[in-house]
Structure 1
Amino acid sequence: MALVALASAKGSPGVTTTGLVLGALWPRQVLLAECDPAGSDVAIRMTAPGGQPLNSDRGLVSLAAAGRKGLDDDVILAHSQQLDGGLDVMVGVRSPEQIGGMGGLWHPLGLTFNQMFSADVIADCGRIGPASPQLPIIQAARLVVLVCTATGSSVAHLRERLSSLVHHVDAKIGVLVVADPKKRDGVKQVWSVLDAMSVRVEHRWHLAYDPAGAAFFDGRGQGRLNRTPLIRTASDIAAEMASVVAMPTQHDFDMAQAAFPDGADGAREGR
């Protein structure tokens, strides 16, 4: 299936909330993978079925040890958990210090995420830069989406990161702006900045800035989630993103061939 990587250029524009809501609305089976080296938010904010706490030791850290013998769907899912509501997640590291234990796993992990038979993967990559350890996840993705707000500083960092990112990835690139649905002029200004750049941004989305809706993904929501602006806008975005990544591209084959000259089966056998 396919890997979609969500990331930000700077700050906290809502990448984790975006990943959670898109995962909840994804039209196919999907796994949300926390690949943010800054540490896990999902294990703190969300719960397992029945309101039980998530196991913070079962996720990216436990996978780092098991994955050295080879990666496939069964291994990935064995280190994943289910949220209350049904979304499968792979919890990230508890602290940045644990990133060192990932070693050389980032490259094969990105490839495996993009080739899972049982599910699409949405990777929350947090803030990224040219030296970010999770960059191989971005490079393996079929679609890379930078999340920003419509503020001047966020857009400035977005522009800088896009100019750099284009030299590191061959995937389709999208931008998702989190902004008040009543302030469309700010979103249009972001699109104008993109139009003036030489970087090709193939997909553009506007996700409603909606604190009441976002509260449901922090354990604080009240009322009916499906009536919130967040869900109304995210439903269309999830459907469109899923359609964009539905078919393999030449990029996928090139990544697999470069990483595993013996073929994708070699990756699954741990060669």
Structure 2
Amino acid sequence: MLITFASLRGSPGTSAATLALTWTWPRHAIAVECDPSGGQALAVFDPGGALGHRGMFEAMLSARSMPLPRAMWQQAITLPDGTGRHFLLPGPRTPRTAESLQWQRAVPAFQGWESVDVLADCGRIRSRGTPHAVLGAADLTVLVVRNDRHSLRVLSSSVDVVREEVGSLGSADDGLVVVVSRGPSGAQGFSAKEIASQFTKLGLPVVGELPWDPLAANQFTDTFNPGKRFEDSPLLERARRLGFEIGKRAFARSRRLRRPVNAEHDAVSGIRPRRELVRRPQPPSIPRPAGEGARHVR
């Protein structure tokens, strides 16, 4: 499955949400940085640069001599969550480099990794260099919006703009859902019921909320140096539940969109569906910082 994450304005925590959901995802998953403003996650997990320059740009260069899916997996790294099944494909380091990438070349690879779900951070919609090819191919697009009056009003008045940007304007089943990012304790906001009622009328179901948890979020946006309570933090606890809901919706929509075509093709050709398009080499792992407690096993 290909699931994209985007925002309309401000910094509601789209990157942290994408990585937190990948970290807790119930299946094999890879977070892909498609943000046109440039990727930052590699510096978070490898601040000393021990892994060198890695990412989608380097994969595109390597694809001159090998298939792109294999090149992308060679550029991926294993997230240090202790499971060995969650990965990161870093994005380009600068906006200029991001603008040069041909994202349409990556879409077939994303869709072909049937045993790995792709969670793509596409940054802010309507930015220069927005990866429209990735957004348009998604099984589900998750809009992250901050729980404040102005952000909610902007999204409410821009639903058609958002649908146009993701290539689903006029579609009865556009695959758009909303995740609300809460502000600091005491900040003015609205109840989940109020927000859900408003956006349901616009055809944008609200699938959940992410709490205000700066200590945990900083592990995905600043420097990864988690404490013993990181795995039980409010952010990861909520991400675990939210991941199941997002995955369920994406899987159901993927089956609706693709299964009839695949079934007809299989019946005509007699070919059994392939489970994966490329054999994945194991990406290098990032060690957890010394002194951290053991992963909380569930």
The bucket for the TM-score relative to the shorter chain is 0.7 to 0.9
Q: Deviations over 1:49-87 (max 9, x none)?
A: xx8636462211112223467756423212212233343
Residue 123 (structure 1) aligned with residue 129 (structure 2) = no
Question: CA–CA distance in 2 between the matches of 1:52 and 1:118?
Answer: 32
- After superposing the two structures, state which structure 1 stretch, 208-217 or 125-134, moved more: 125-134
Distance in structure 2 (CA, Å) of the matches to 1:14 and 1:202: 19
Instruction: State the secondary structure of the residue aligned to 1:138.
Output: helix
| Residue identity in the other structure for 2:76 | S
Within-5 A mapping of 1:51-200? 53=49, 55=51, 57-67=53-63, 73-85=69-81, 86=84, 87-102=86-101, 105-129=102-126, 132-167=129-164, 168-169=167-168, 171-179=174-182, 185-197=190-202, 200=203
Q: CA deviation at 1:9?
A: 0.5
Residue identity matched to 1:249: R
Name the stretch that deviates more: 18-27 or 147-156.
147-156
* 2:41 is the counterpart of 1:17: no
Mapped partners of 2:2, 2:261: distance in 1: 13
CA change 1:181–1:13 in 2 (3 A) is closer
Partner of 2:235: 230
CA deviation string 1:77-124 (max 9, x = no partner): 12212233343111111111112431xx31231232122133110001
User: Is the deviation greater in 148-157 or in 78-87?
Assistant: 78-87
SS where residue 38 of structure 1 aligns? coil
Gaps of 5+ in 2: 263-272, 279-298
Question: What's the TM-score, normalizing by structure 1?
Answer: 0.80
Inter-partner Cα distance in structure 2 for 1:181 and 1:236: 21
Could you say if the C-alpha distance between residues 54 and 13 of structure 1 is closer, same or farther in structure 2, counting changes exceeding 3 Å?
farther
- Going from structure 1 to structure 2, the CA distance change for 1:201 and 1:40 (only over 3 Å counts) comes to same
Structure 2 Cα separation of the partners of residues 254 and 53 of structure 1: 46
**RMSD, aligned α-carbons:** 3.1
How many Å separate the matches in 1 of 2:53 and 2:219? 24
Query: Which position in structure 1 is the counterpart of 2:291?
Result: none
Matched, 1:212 2:221: no
| Cα distance in 2, alignment partners of residues 212 and 111 from structure 1 | 37
Partner of 2:255: 249
Which stretch of the first structure deviates more once superposed, 123-132 or 183-192? 183-192
Q: Report what 1:259 is aligned to.
A: none
The aligned amino acid for 2:162 is L
Q: Name the structure 2 match of 1:36.
A: 35
Structure 1 residue 147: Cα displacement: 0.5
Maintained 8 Å contact 2:196/2:205: no
Query: Structure 2 vs 1, CA of residues 202 and 251 (structure 1 numbering), >3 Å: closer, same or farther?
Result: farther
User: 1:176 and 1:39 mapped to 2: Cα distance?
Assistant: 22
Gaps of at least 5 residues in structure 1 are 257-263
User: In 1, are the aligned partners of 2:23 and 2:79 still within 8 Å (CA)?
Assistant: no
Partners of 1:63 and 1:119 lie apart in 2 by 18
Larger Rg: 2
